[in-house]
């Protein structure tokens, strides 16, 4: 089993990463930074976003495991004190069964950003947002190549199902089970008057649909893809759709999505 560990960089996470390497060496797991089979993220859900983008080119060939240094997270099944149990599972030793993890796959968001200066492609695990730098943004939203609405306001958030519990939730978006292949459009403080009319409700688009966001004035924008910020002053449009790629998580024990939601927000 080839593995790699990414930690959040705080003393507790660094310490846990060191402990993980020690336990892994005792169980003949091989540290491999180039082509790991399992990538372990130690920290929080934010650390998983970093791990995902670090290994974005190898997404089809590996699975992620999250260890949370605080409460359990949406991308983290394990807590700090369970580290040696996790390594035992990975090494397949002792009485622990099953040794082979169940691979759970979550949908991702595919983005094509068209600027006057060129086009780039991206993938998001949580969400894409578009916001104004100097004030409100003016954008046109098309769904399946038909104009849907003209938006003026703080911005727009397009999230994946697993990202629906993050920024999207703060915007009043619905929480979506990651087995549903969809993207969600949520408004960030829209202005509604006779000129600018928006739906107001979050929208869910299925996998075979797409939406395009057109910049409709000269404006400095801040685009975000998960934790990454991209300032843009020559945006033409952004195409958003559910990606054909998926992220894989190695599940050594069940932790249903709705249990995570309940534990994160209610108990």
Q: Which residue, 4 or 257, has its beta carbon nearer to ligand NAP?
A: 257
Nearer to ligand NAP, 24 or 225 (CB): 225
Is 154 annotated to bind a ligand? Reply is yes
| Residue number closest to ligand NAP, CB atom | 46
DSSP-derived 3-state class of residue 111? strand
CA distances from 107 to 2, 52, 77, 188 (A): 25, 13, 18, 23
| Chosen residue from 16, 17, 40, 49 binding ligand NAP by CB under 6 A | 49
Which residues does 28 contact at the CB level (< 8 Å), separation at least 6? 91
Name which position in 13, 165, 219, 243 contacts ligand NAP (CB under 6 A): 165
Residue 5 found at the interface with ligand NAP (CB under 6 A)? no
d(CA 213, CA 36): 37
The reply on whether position 163 binds ligand NAP by CB under 6 A is: yes
SS3 172: coil
Q: Which of 77, 154, 212, 226 binds ligand NAP (CB under 6 A)?
A: 226
Nearer residue to ligand NAP within complex by CB, 141 or 166 = 166
Q: Please report whether residue 13 would count as binding ligand NAP according to CB under 6 A.
A: no
In the chain, what is the straight-line distance between the N-terminal and C-terminal CA atoms, in Å? Answer: 36
* Cβ count within 10 A of residue 64: 23
Residue 35 in marked binding region: no
User: Is residue 228 part of an annotated ligand binding site?
Assistant: yes
45 or 154: CB nearest ligand NAP? 45
Nearest Cα residue to 8 out of 178, 180, 227: 227
Which residues have a catalytic role annotated? 45
């Amino acid at each position: 089993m080839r593995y790699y560990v990414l930690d959040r960089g705080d003393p507790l996470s660094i310490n846990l990463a060191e402990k993980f390497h020690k336990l892994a060496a005792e169980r003949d797991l091989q540290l491999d930074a180039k082509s790991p089979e399992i990538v372990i993220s130690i920290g929080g859900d934010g650390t998983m976003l970093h791990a995902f983008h670090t290994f974005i080119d190898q997404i089809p060939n590996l699975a992620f495991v999250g260890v949370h240094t605080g409460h359990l997270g949406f991308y983290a099944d394990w807590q700090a004190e369970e580290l040696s149990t996790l390594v035992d599972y990975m090494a397949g030793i002792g009485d622990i069964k099953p040794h082979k993890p169940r691979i759970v796959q979550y949908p991702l968001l595919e983005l094509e950003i068209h600027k006057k200066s060129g086009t780039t492609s991206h993938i998001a695990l949580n969400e894409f947002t578009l916001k104004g730098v100097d004030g409100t943004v003016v954008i046109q939203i098309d769904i399946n190549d038909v104009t849907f609405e003209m938006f003026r306001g703080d911005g727009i958030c397009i999230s994946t199902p697993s990202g629906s519990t993050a920024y999207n939730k703060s915007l009043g978006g619905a929480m979506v089970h990651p087995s549903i292949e969809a993207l969600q459009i949520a408004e960030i403080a829209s202005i509604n008057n006779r000129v600018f009319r928006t739906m107001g409700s979050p929208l869910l688009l299925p996998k075979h649909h797409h939406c395009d966001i057109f910049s409709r004035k000269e404006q400095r924008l801040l685009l975000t893809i998960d934790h990454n910020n991209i300032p843009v002053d020559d945006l033409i449009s952004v195409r958003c759709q559910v990606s054909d790629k998926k992220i894989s998580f190695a599940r050594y024990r069940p932790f249903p999505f709705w249990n995570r939601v309940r534990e994160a927000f209610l108990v």
